[in-house]
Amino acid sequence: MRIFPLLTSLVSAALLLPAQNAGAGQAKAAPAPPMTLTIPGFPDGGQIPVKFSQAAPGVATGEGTSPAMSWANVPAGTQSLFLNMHDMDLARNKTTDDQAHWVLWNIPPTSTGLPEGVAKGSPMPDGSFQISATGPMYRGPGAPANGPFHHYVFEIYALDIKLDVKPTADAFETRTAVMQAIQGHILAKAVYGGLFRRPQ
């Protein structure tokens, strides 16, 4: 009778048994659902209605009515949110910089969205800040009628910090400061896009 191989097999089985039993009671945690951004006023990738643009009746140049939006699945540990709306088709001053249509930061982590027609002014009642190339307000899309549709992107970021950034007189300088401050602190991101050009 070969005793040594038999003992080896018995020892191996005894060592494996606790590990198997430990794993049996532990179910794998489901991955967290991705963060999402929704704008009910137009479909993702669709045309942005004139009412949200600079071309809406009665809207001053460079201004507009912001669309309502909501976000979901903000990850645990989020300390603030940052929203960046920009025109991907505009090369500002022959650089990689594009148009700053709406930059909002230090949005409270408990918030789930923004209403339609956010009022001008910064700081806002909830302590967040806003700025655009026009000033402390939403700047609607304004691509010219004689050109192609422009791609406008809304990006929402969940951050593990509250930003120590104050707005300056220059929206592009401010946006650069915010973008630099969020590096290494992004927990999640969601994107929603739309197309616009002024009516013919």
Q: Is 164 within a domain?
A: yes
Judge contact between 64 and 52, C-beta under 8 A. yes
- Where residue 97 sits, what CATH number does that domain have? 3.90.280.10
Structure tokens at 87: 């025109």
For position 200, what pLDDT does the model report? 84
Q: Is the pLDDT of residue 199 over 90?
A: yes
Q: Is the pLDDT of residue 80 over 60?
A: yes
How far is the C-alpha of 59 from the C-alpha of 172, rounded, in Å?
23
Q: Which of 43-52, 58-67, 78-87, 88-97 has the lowest mean pLDDT?
A: 88-97
Q: Which of 92-106, 129-143, 158-172 has the lowest mean pLDDT?
A: 92-106
What pTM was estimated for this model as a whole? 0.83
Q: Is 117 within a domain?
A: yes
pLDDT in tens, 21-69: 545 556 677 888 999 999 999 999 999 999 999 999 999 989 999 999 9
Q: Is 3 within a domain?
A: no
Q: Is 7 within a domain?
A: no
Q: Is 14 within a domain?
A: no
Average pLDDT over residues 150-162: 98
Q: Is 18 within a domain?
A: no
Q: Coil, helix or strand for 192?
A: strand
Tally of structural domains, the chain: 1
Q: Is the pLDDT of residue 7 over 80?
A: no
Q: What is the 3-state secondary structure (H, E, C) of 90-152?
A: CCHHHCCCCEEEEEEEEECCCCCEECCCCCCCCCCCCCCEEECCCCCCCCCCCCCCCCCCEEE
Range of the domain at 145: 32-196
Q: Is 15 within a domain?
A: no
